[in-house]
Structure 1
């Protein structure tokens, strides 16, 4: 990707995060960059194309987190805890997507389609991690699989929509938001852990 395209995406991300998707146009992005809107449209025809590109970069970021994981996880709790915090940082970086997710999905159905498929793909990955935690004695063995599958759904709801809750309630910014909601997220697992698991999880 050219340096100009990267700068356009970086500028758009900043504006979308600050002002939302409805208040930002191609002209606003071009003005912020000090170029003509015609020049910008040579690279990206409209804001929907830019939003799709930023969503793709977000997906690439999550893929990089997964690819960076060791082939054999030796400490599932540490892996899950650090992975959750890294995911929350990435979500905050692209927070406009999550704050406007319903509207973005209406504008760009391909994003909704990808998101739904992504949920289906991630469920077996999390269930496998839970299976490893059971074998290590850190996750309770008396929890039925169907309840763990509900927990997986809870994980995605909290991860993907904590920003909306924060926006209308606590309104925390930056590190304070990340610290609080990462801890809130991890706290969901408290009832599912064995005494051994509780020693290192929270």
Structure 2
């Protein structure tokens, strides 16, 4: 394994266990048994390490996103996607626990995340439109309802880890299925009869 890859993997491990503010470049170098200069050759700052990790996160999550124009997407596909996203996030716990701090320390990552947000909102809008066309969810009774549902879904996905962490002071165990049900609670009121039947057949 190349040194750059070792640095990234060790950084993720240390950020997850200690938090981003308590880990320095020297700490990472010491854990890897390499010199500070050697690490600096690959990454001149902690911000560049975090930025590289974020780029990888986006690339990885992009592979989970369902194709926006598919005409055969089901609620089961949506359920699988949500569960995959929640499990993916557990690999990068530090990012979601330290989200605000990361944005304050590294504004360029905040800008990247804003672009990611815009992309995800657009993808979900197409997904919801697809569900309407398949008669899985009802047409909007009030303009903007589904945009609010999508935005609330995004907020829950970004902050569920920190919310659970607050209430578990010793050896936190992240309850992904609890959060999965919370996400479904946002959509259930909008399901059609066909959608309700499909939902009842999900393995939750």
Q: Measure, in 2, the Cα distance between the counterparts of 1:192 and 1:37.
A: 55
Shift in Å, 1:170: 4.4
Structure 1 equivalent of residue 28 of structure 2: 29
Checking the alignment, whether the CA contact within 8 Å between 2:69 and 2:126 is kept in structure 1 is no
TM-score normalised by L of structure 1: 0.89
Q: Deviations over 1:57-89 (max 9, x none)?
A: 1011112223x7496341331221111111111
Structure 2 equivalent of residue 46 of structure 1: 45
Match of 1:90 among 88, 113, 117: 88
Checking the alignment, whether the CA contact within 8 Å between 1:133 and 1:139 is kept in structure 2 is yes
* Superposition pairs of residues 1-202 of structure 1, within 5 angstroms: 3-66=2-65, 69=67, 72-170=70-168, 172-173=172-173, 177-201=175-199
Checking the alignment, whether the CA contact within 8 Å between 1:73 and 1:79 is kept in structure 2 is no
Give the secondary-structure state (helix, strand or coil) at the position aligned to 1:119. helix
Q: Measure, in 2, the Cα distance between the counterparts of 1:18 and 1:158.
A: 23
The ranges of structure 1 where at least 4 consecutive aligned residues each deviate by more than 3 angstroms after the TM superposition are: 68-71
Q: Measure, in 2, the Cα distance between the counterparts of 1:70 and 1:122.
A: 10
RMSD: 2.0
Give the secondary-structure state (helix, strand or coil) at the position aligned to 1:199. helix
Checking the alignment, whether the CA contact within 8 Å between 2:68 and 2:127 is kept in structure 1 is no
Q: Indicate the structure with greater helix content.
A: 1
Checking the alignment, whether the CA contact within 8 Å between 2:160 and 2:179 is kept in structure 1 is yes
Q: Deviations over 1:4-44 (max 9, x none)?
A: 11111000000000100111111111121122222211111
TM-score normalised by L of structure 2: 0.88
